[in-house]
Amino acid sequence: MNGGRQVQGVLRGFDPFMNLVMDDCLEMAPGGLQNTIGMVVIRGNSIIMLEALERV
C-alpha cells in the first residue's frame, strides 16, 4: 500500500475498482510495528501490489 504500509489477512471480497474487503488483518508499519486491525476495506487506488501467500 502507499505510505510504506503492508497489510496481511484473508481476502473476503473485491470489486471492479480493486477495492478489497479483508478479514483477520495485521498491519505492518515501516518501523516494524504490528497492529491487529480485524476486518478492513482497502481502497483500490492505495494498493501497489497484491500477493497470495498460499497457492490457490
Instruction: Report the predicted TM-score, pTM, of the whole model to 2 decimal places.
Output: 0.80
In a domain, 27, yes or no: yes
Q: Where are the beta strands (DSSP E) in 1-56?
A: 6-14, 20-28, 34-42
21 phi/psi in degrees, rounded to 5: -110, 120
Count: domains in the chain: 1
Supply the range of the domain harboring residue 28.
2-44
In a domain, 25, yes or no: yes
Q: Can you tell me the distance from the alpha carbon of 8 to that of 26, in angstroms, rounded to the nearest whole number?
A: 5
Q: Is 9 exposed, middle or buried (0-12, 13-18, 19+ CB in 10 A)?
A: buried
> CATH number of the domain that 30 lies in?
2.30.30.100
In a domain, 9, yes or no: yes
- Cβ neighbours around 1 below 10 Å, total: 14
In a domain, 15, yes or no: yes
In a domain, 13, yes or no: yes
Each residue's pLDDT tens digit, 13-54: 999 999 999 999 999 987 888 999 999 999 999 999 999 988
